[in-house]
Amino acid sequence: MSITKRWRTSPATMRRRSMIRFHTPGAACYPGAVAPLLEVRGLRYAYGERLAVRSAALQVERGEVFGLLGPNGAGKTTLLSCVAGLLGRFGGELLFAGAPFRPAADDGQRALVGLVPQELALYEELDARENLALFAALQGVPRERVGLAIDAALQLAGLAERARDRVKTYSGGMKRRLNLAIGDLHEPPLLLLDEPTVGVDPQSRNHVFECLGQLQQKGRTVIYTTHYMEEAQRLCDRVAVMHEGTVLAAGTAAELAERAGVPGADLETVFLRLTGKALRDEP
């Protein structure tokens, strides 16, 4: 498949839209020690006539891996796009550490978030190091930190040995890992992973899971969207179940099972209870 067919929007544009400036973690430009890192209140977004997100609400605490679960079309990507600043004209309110958050209108705010898009956004003709250097420049990583940031990204992706090989020679899993590491290059406190394991072989899936552990050690807060319930059960501290544009319930897997009247049940069963639909039946 040619590059132009593969990406209607170029990888560089996709990245540039998602994150602009380097943010130094710890140089807190956000107040509020007790407020959740991210709060979504009554979020609403329509593509023309089509209402994709309606009255969605959730809270993400600092340092957690928060699972955003739901079938295709539930509105997960749309919600993430609002948080990442790709979509600006939403209804409702976003708060970052308790302060109003309009990332589409503010480059500084946008830099607080890293987005790892569902579709791979990589230059296949370049090697991993060249991709990382390019995106580091686009994301405004200061020149003196680029070398370290690239080394850290290669380590996170487990690609240090293959750093000089062209991306087109990589397996699907390796590309996914590089995609993920690019999203984290500018060290955002909040990282959004949009279905990072779709189409990935089991071994690379495990590597993505290990990346999550490393990201948590680095102090990142992660929102992880998936429609694989067992993955969420294993990886996430808390989850929100999204369905037809709304968040039906949020909490730990055990809390959700309790609330859905099926204590001790797995998330798949909880989802079925909450929506009346089997997740696998969705398109």
Q: Which residue carries 């797995």 as its tokens? A: 266
Residue 74 or residue 167: which is nearer to ligand ADP going by CB? 74
Of 67-75, 97-105, 133-141, 179-187, the window that binds ligand ADP (rule: CB under 6 A) is: 67-75
**Burial of 203 (C-beta count, 10 Å sphere; 0-12/13-18/19+):** exposed
Residue 9 binds to ligand ADP (criterion: CB under 6 A): no
Does 193 interact with ligand ADP (rule: CB under 6 A)?
A: no
13/206 with CB nearer ligand ADP = 13
Asked if 52 touches ligand ADP (CB under 6 A), the answer is yes
Instruction: Select the span of 55-63, 76-84, 149-157, 265-273 touching ligand ADP (CB under 6 A).
Output: 76-84
> Is 76 one of the binding residues for ligand ADP (CB under 6 A)?
yes
Q: Is 78 in the site for ligand ADP (CB under 6 A)?
A: yes
Provide, rounded to whole angstroms, the least separation between the CB of residue 9 and Mg ion.
16
Residues pairing with 100 in the sheet: 95
Q: Is 61 helix (H, G, I), strand (E, B) or coil?
A: coil
Cβ–Cβ < 8 Å for 35, 100: no
Instruction: Tell me the closest approach of the beta carbon of residue 76 to ligand ADP, in angstroms.
Output: 3
Please give the radius of gyration of the chain, using alpha carbons only, rounded to the nearest integer: 18
Nearest to 200 by CA among 179, 229, 223: 179
Q: What angle, rounded to 10 degrees, do the helices at 11-18 and 128-138 form?
A: 40
The least CB distance from residue 228 to ligand ADP, in Å, is 13
Distance CA 116, CA 80 (A): 10
Report the nearest approach of Mg ion to the CB of residue 194 (Å): 6
**From ligand ADP, Mg ion, none, interface partner of 120 (C-beta below 5 to 8 A by class):** none
145 is written with which tokens?
């930190």
Q: How far is the CB of 216 from ligand ADP (least distance, A)?
A: 24
Does 67 contact ligand ADP by CB under 6 A?
no
Annotate 111-140 with b (16+ C-beta within 10 A) or e (fewer).
bbbbbbbbbbbbbbebbbbbbbbbbbebbe
Contact letters (x/-) for Mg ion, 68-87, by CB under 5 A? --------xx----------
Q: Which positions touch Mg ion (CB under 5 A)?
A: 76-77
